[in-house]
């Protein structure tokens, strides 16, 4: 039987200074007049309706992503968080993350975010190499990236994530390793380190840059992961590395098939209705202009998709197997409403072939399965 998992809240702010050529998120260049007040009003109106789905449940984590949320002034973020607190039950230990761009930092701004209640800052650095940053179309340089971390610390943030990418245009092993070692020297609590991919609909997909070949990408991955591990950053998910106790609680809730409300232009959500044996995925209208209509009381355009029983095993595994520790055998029926036998015969096949392993009531990828995760998941496609 389905039981309600932990609940999170994702908030999407869709504007950025400039659209990066690799970005396939719902992001838009900043308008001349950023409609902060109207957008916060729309977000809170959206939240009012979303909370009807989860009456009485506590929000454990909040993540404000984008776009570039740090374009907003602290006063707008403060109003947003106060509005959430007035409407919802927010855990006293809630992790509240804001994404920030090094090109938009100021000491007073970062202090304002901290005062407003942001307790985790995620800085989108991508690289410290000016040549790489230029190729990626970023608006900051390496010096600004370094200063952003200093400013965040001075503003009182003791929980920082640094976003880095690898296999960048014409990047070699030495350059990638320099990026990672520079990040390590800054001593953040968390590092998100992931490979650049060319996503459909992006400028890079239409005009692909020259990326490192597979052998070079593999060498980059091997050497940089060794450096991260040696420095105390444990890989707990495919692209997430953290010091002990500093894993991103919000993202872990995604990966363990938890619930999350999604508000904002293009935001996605997942909601469990245990009593009705239903799992819903939701998405909001992508256009910021259309979304702003909510400030006038217009009903949000929300698409809903019910995750059928036949879809649930793969949906669960696509998230849970991304985590190094895998999942508890008892979590599968609680999160999907299905018996563990719904994973057969693929589960037995993967265990027999050494791609998955069972240990103390948990199921996770073996080292070999971790390297071929896409192939492992493919076995559960029916």
Give me the CATH number covering residue 242. Answer: 3.20.20.70
State the pLDDT at residue 46.
Answer: 93
**Distance, CA of 278 to CA of 274 (rounded, Å):** 6
Q: Report yes or no on 204 lying in a domain.
A: yes
Integer Cα distance of 12 and 61 in angstroms: 14
- pLDDT reported for residue 300: 58
User: pTM score, two decimals?
Assistant: 0.95
State the pLDDT at residue 24: 79
Among 237, 253, 269, the domain-final residue is 253
Lowest mean pLDDT among 2-16, 78-92, 101-115, 218-232: 101-115
227, 253, 279 - which closes a domain = 253
**Whether residues 233 and 346 fall in one domain:** no
Same domain, 245 and 336: no
Instruction: Show the domain range for 345.
Output: 329-378
Together in a domain, 346 and 231: no
287 within some domain: no
On the question of a cis peptide bond just before residue 143, with omega within 30 degrees of 0, the verdict is no
Answer whether residue 295 is part of any domain.
no
State the chain's mean pLDDT as an integer. 93
Same-domain check for residues 51 and 158? yes
Rounded CA-CA distance 108/97 in Å is 18
160 and 43 part of one domain: yes
Helix axes 142-154, 107-116, angle to 10 degrees: 50
Give pLDDT, residue 160. 98
Phi, then psi, of 130 in degrees rounded to 5:
-60, -35
CA atoms within 13 A on the CB side of 322: 17
8 Å CB contact between 313 and 342: yes
Q: Are residues 245 and 356 in the same domain?
A: no
367 in any annotated domain: yes
Residues 210, 348 share a domain: no
Residues 159 and 71 in one domain: yes
Strands (E), 127-183: 160-166
pLDDT the model gives residue 94: 98
Nearest to 333 by CA among 370, 353, 363: 363
Contact 291, 47 (CB under 8 A): no
Q: Which pLDDT belongs to residue 295?
A: 67
Report strand pairing: 120-126 vs 89-100: parallel
Selected residue with higher pLDDT from 294 and 256:
256
Residue 180: strand, helix, or coil: helix
Q: What is the dihedral of CA 257, 55, 62, 39, to 10 degrees?
A: 120
Question: Are 200 and 339 part of one and the same domain?
Answer: no
356 within 8 A of 26, measured Cβ to Cβ: no
Residue 122 in any domain: the answer is: yes
Structural domains of the chain, count? 2
What's the mean pLDDT in 347-361?
95
269 assigned to some structural domain: no
The DSSP bridge pattern shows strands 268-273 and 278-284 to be: antiparallel
**Lowest mean pLDDT across 45-59, 167-181, 199-213:** 199-213
Q: Are 307 and 342 in contact (CB under 8 A)?
A: no
Residue 237 sits in the same domain as residue 343: no
Residues 35 and 143 in one domain: yes
Domain-embedded: residue 210 = yes
Q: Which of 219, 237, 253 is the last residue of a domain?
A: 253
Backbone angles phi, psi at 346, to 5 degrees: -65, -40
Say if residue 29's pLDDT is above 70. Answer: yes
Q: Please indicate, yes or no, whether residues 33 and 173 belong to a single structural domain of this protein.
A: yes
Any idea which residue has 């609940």 for tokens? 7
């Amino acid at each position: 039987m389905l039981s309600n998992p932990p609940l999170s809240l994702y908030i999407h702010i869709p504007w950025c200074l400039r659209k990066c050529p690799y970005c396939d998120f719902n992001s838009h260049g900043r308008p001349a007049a950023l409609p902060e007040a109207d957008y916060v009003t729309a977000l809170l109106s959206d939240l009012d309706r979303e909370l009807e789905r989860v009456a009485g449940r506590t929000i454990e984590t909040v993540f404000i992503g984008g776009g570039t949320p740090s374009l907003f002034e602290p006063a707008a973020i403060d109003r947003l968080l106060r509005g959430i607190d007035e409407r919802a039950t927010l855990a006293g230990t809630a992790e509240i993350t804001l994404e920030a761009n090094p090109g938009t930092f100021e000491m007073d701004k970062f202090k304002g975010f901290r005062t407003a209640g942001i307790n985790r800052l995620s800085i989108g650095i991508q690289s410290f190499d000016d040549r790489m940053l230029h190729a990626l179309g970023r608006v900051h340089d390496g010096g600004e990236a370094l200063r952003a971390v200093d400013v965040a610390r001075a503003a009182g943030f003791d929980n920082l994530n640094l976003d880095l990418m690898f296999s960048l245009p014409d990047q070699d092993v030495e350059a990638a390793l320099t990026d990672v070692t520079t990040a390590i020297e800054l001593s953040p609590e968390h590092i998100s380190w992931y490979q650049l991919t060319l996503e459909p609909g992006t400028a890079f997909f239409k005009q692909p840059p020259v990326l490192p070949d597979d052998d070079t990408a593999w060498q980059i991955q091997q050497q940089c992961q060794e450096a991260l591990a040696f420095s105390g950053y444990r890989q707990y998910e495919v692209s997430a590395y953290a010091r002990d106790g500093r894993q991103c609680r919000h993202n872990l809730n995604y990966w363990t098939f938890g619930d999350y409300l999604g508000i904002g232009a293009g935001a996605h959500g997942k909601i469990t209705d245990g009593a009705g044996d239903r799992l819903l995925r939701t998405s909001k209208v992508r256009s910021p202009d259309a979304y702003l209509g909510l400030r006038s009381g217009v009903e949000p355009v929300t698409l809903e998709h019910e995750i059928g029983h036949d879809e649930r095993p793969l949906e669960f595994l696509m998230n849970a197997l991304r985590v190094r520790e895998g999942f508890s055998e008892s979590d599968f029926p609680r999160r999907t409403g299905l018996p563990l036998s719904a994973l057969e015969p693929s589960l037995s096949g993967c265990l027999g072939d050494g791609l998955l392993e069972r240990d103390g009531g948990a199921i996770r990828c073996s080292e070999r399965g971790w390297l071929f995760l896409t192939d492992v998941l493919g076995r559960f496609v029916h």
